[in-house]
Structure 1
Amino acid sequence: MSAPAGRWADLGPRMGVGAIVAVIGLLGVWLGGIVFIVLTVAISAVMVWELVRMLDRAAPAIALAGGAGAALAIAEILPPGYALPLLIAPSFVGFGQLNRHRATFAIFTAAILLAGFGLFTLRDRFGFEWMLWLAAVVIVTDVAGYFAGRFIGGPKFWPRVSPKKTWAGTIAGWVGAAVVGGIFIGITGANGQLVGVSIALSMASQFGDIAESAVKRRMGVKDSSSLLPGHGGLFDRFDGMLGASVFLLMVQQIVNFPPGLP
């Protein structure tokens, strides 16, 4: 009985904290405007702070996070062409402040800020329902992967980096994302390509999760911080959203997003 109990030991805190985070996030998405700007800036800044603390404890984590948050806040009220340099600039600042792992800091910080900017852009251009779709794909991917991985088990996806992730959980995430895509076709009138986009978005969110796991493994830490019981830090909670948001920001013009709608 001890093995099954241990397998589900984190379920209670994980679901409770996850529900609170989801409610706060959906409320911010629904309200939009300045509330959503503040939310994305705060989350992004905390993620940069967690990243710096993982990579180099001697670096000024609060200052770098504050600078990154300020850059994102200004970028979100500027035209995109003017915003882009601001989103990349904090990565360059970190080169002069970190003593090691500078490239990792630069890549992830740029991705975090681009993801925050992408979320605000998606909300501003396409409205609440498409933000809800994005969040649903990421959440269902995570939840389906969690339960399928523990119920089914089987071969590991990448045991050296993420020992708990299985192929069963990975594929279950894709299936769950496809179901979300199908539901939103009925809600929005988008065409069948939305199912493919949803699956690709699920894959991108899983790569975001894997990339963050690789950094933690390399740094020898279990969680990015201890801010969220059962989840670790905000970076641990939003790594999937990071990958999905950056992916959608890059491909939304290629697929004429939302597919099938004017």
Structure 2
Amino acid sequence: MSDPRWEDLAARVASGVGLVAVGMAAVWAGGLWFHILIAVICGLMVWELVSMLDTARSASQYILGAAAAAAALIAAEIPPGFALPLLMLPSMLGFARMERRAATYAVFTALILLAGYGMMAVRDDFGLVWMAWLVLVVVVTDVAGYFAGRMIGGPKLWPLVSPKKTWSGTVAGWIGAAVVGILFAKATAAGPGLAGISIAVSMASQIGDIGESALKRREGVKDSSHLIPGHGGLLDRFDGMLGAALFILIAGQIVGFPPGVQ
């Protein structure tokens, strides 16, 4: 008899490998290719968001998703002073298109687009190494949490919202992120404080994950969509990256970026 703890592992691994391959190719290429990938992801996440929030949405999910993708792509190619209001525009459009949950839509859409813009800025301004650091911290947090949570188990982190998440998986994610930080600190000019920053980024990614879980629980859905076998939708897969990228936008103003490098 198969162990139910691992029943979704094959689908998760197969689709995860495909996501990683596409993502790595775009991150490596950088520039317009990376901008296009992020813009498409942002648009699809907004499409999923509208589909969850507004059951009387008509064609709104397609209109607002396309608007988000276009805003993200154009914002990457223009000066920041003009990019920022453009990134807020899809949120404002939601007030005219959404028949319910318009405020929730506006907030989450703004966070999605700001996070996407932040990821493009990291790749454009600081290069492949620091984009790889950010991605690895989020991926290791997720992978370490998945395996530790199922192998060790124990007390739940927030059972009312996310019944599968445990404290053992959460702490394992922090440890994995710290290891990534230590390795990058040794390979770059960053100091040992990068380990602490990596843990904070890990926590931010977990908050993003839990925030999206709370939204799904409120709307009574298991997954944001069924685009990715074993993972649900793009919001399910990239919620941690949203939290991490937003954290970098804020914390980068405090500690400097790249982290620890003066």
Q: Given residue 36 of structure 2, which amino acid in structure 1 is its aligned partner?
A: V
2:22 maps to 1:13: no
Moved more, 45-54 or 56-65: 56-65
Q: Given residue 126 of structure 1, which amino acid in structure 2 is its aligned partner?
A: F
The DSSP-based 3-state class of the residue aligned with 1:229 is: coil
Q: How does 1:1-262 map to 2 (within 5 A)?
A: 1=1, 5-59=3-57, 60-262=60-262
Give the gaps of 5 or more residues in structure 1: none
The DSSP-based 3-state class of the residue aligned with 2:97 is: coil
The DSSP-based 3-state class of the residue aligned with 1:49 is: helix
Q: CA deviation at 1:192?
A: 1.1
Identity within the alignment, %: 60
Give the structure-1-normalised TM-score: 0.97
Q: Given residue 15 of structure 1, which amino acid in structure 2 is its aligned partner?
A: V
Q: Given residue 56 of structure 1, which amino acid in structure 2 is its aligned partner?
A: D
Q: Distance in 2 between matches of 1:63 and 1:182?
A: 44
The DSSP-based 3-state class of the residue aligned with 2:163 is: strand
Contact in 1 for aligned 2:177/2:199 (Cα 8 Å): yes
The DSSP-based 3-state class of the residue aligned with 1:250 is: helix
Q: Distance in 2 between matches of 1:131 and 1:81?
A: 23
Moved more, 15-24 or 250-259: 250-259
Q: CA deviation at 1:261?
A: 2.2
Could you report, residue by residue, the CA deviation over 1:100-153 in whole angstroms, capped at 9, with x for unpaired residues? 111210111001100110000000111001110000000000000000100110
The DSSP-based 3-state class of the residue aligned with 2:255 is: coil
Give the structure-2-normalised TM-score: 0.97
The DSSP-based 3-state class of the residue aligned with 1:157 is: strand
Q: Distance in 2 between matches of 1:63 and 1:100?
A: 16
Q: Given residue 19 of structure 2, which amino acid in structure 1 is its aligned partner?
A: V
Q: Distance in 2 between matches of 1:192 and 1:257?
A: 15
Contact in 2 for aligned 1:194/1:258 (Cα 8 Å): no
Contact in 1 for aligned 2:177/2:198 (Cα 8 Å): yes
Q: Distance in 2 between matches of 1:247 and 1:198?
A: 11
The DSSP-based 3-state class of the residue aligned with 1:96 is: helix
Q: CA deviation at 1:57?
A: 2.5
Contact in 2 for aligned 1:137/1:202 (Cα 8 Å): yes
* RMSD of aligned alpha carbons: 0.9
How many pairs align? 260
Q: Distance in 1 between matches of 2:200 and 2:72?
A: 26
Moved over 6 A (4+): none
Q: Distance in 1 between matches of 2:56 and 2:97?
A: 9
The DSSP-based 3-state class of the residue aligned with 1:253 is: helix
Q: CA deviation at 1:79?
A: 1.1
Q: Distance in 1 between matches of 2:166 and 2:133?
A: 25
The DSSP-based 3-state class of the residue aligned with 1:225 is: coil
Could you report, residue by residue, the CA deviation over 1:18-54 in whole angstroms, capped at 9, with x for unpaired residues? 1110111111011001100110000000000000000
